[in-house]
Amino acid sequence: MPLLFSFLIGGLFGIGLAIAGMLNPSKIADFLDIFGAWDPSLAFVMGGGVIVNLIGHHLLMKRATPLFGGTFRLPTVQDIDRQLLGGSALFGIGWGLGGLCPGPVISSLLLRPADVVIFAVMMMAGLWLGKAIR
């Protein structure tokens, strides 16, 4: 059952990205072009995501256990270190250069596989390499 709900929630997320136009790398490029043809729509999408996450987090953390049993596994480390800053910088650089982050890449694989398959393969290779180096 948890796997089914994960699939449905991921599908809903992908549909939301598609409706918002976030599967189009030029939308990201236009958002980053603050001195040119700036498009603020990504900020509204991110803001909406943050609001939904805050509400969901608030409601779920009132529970003693997660909806599907087990225990909550929350991060305990709160330090800002080189690994966090370096990983964030690499993520941002990759997002800015490629115009896509992992969520939209996976969604785009279903809608336009020919456009993103190389990007997805390289993204997976980078994730594997990062894990191997760590």
pLDDT single digits (tens) 70-107:
888 888 888 999 988 998 998 888 888 877 888 888 88
pTM: predicted TM-score of the whole model, two decimal places:
0.68
Count of CB atoms situated within 10 Å of the CB of 39: 17
Count of CB atoms situated within 10 Å of the CB of 24: 17
CA–CA gap between residue 19 and residue 48 (Å, rounded): 13
Torsion-angle region of 99 (φ positive above 0: left; ψ -120 to 50: alpha; else: beta): left
pLDDT in tens, 2-60: 788 888 988 888 888 888 888 888 888 888 888 988 999 889 988 998 999 999 999 98
Question: What is the mean pLDDT of the segment spanning 106-116?
Answer: 83
Count of CB atoms situated within 10 Å of the CB of 10: 13
CA–CA gap between residue 66 and residue 42 (Å, rounded): 31
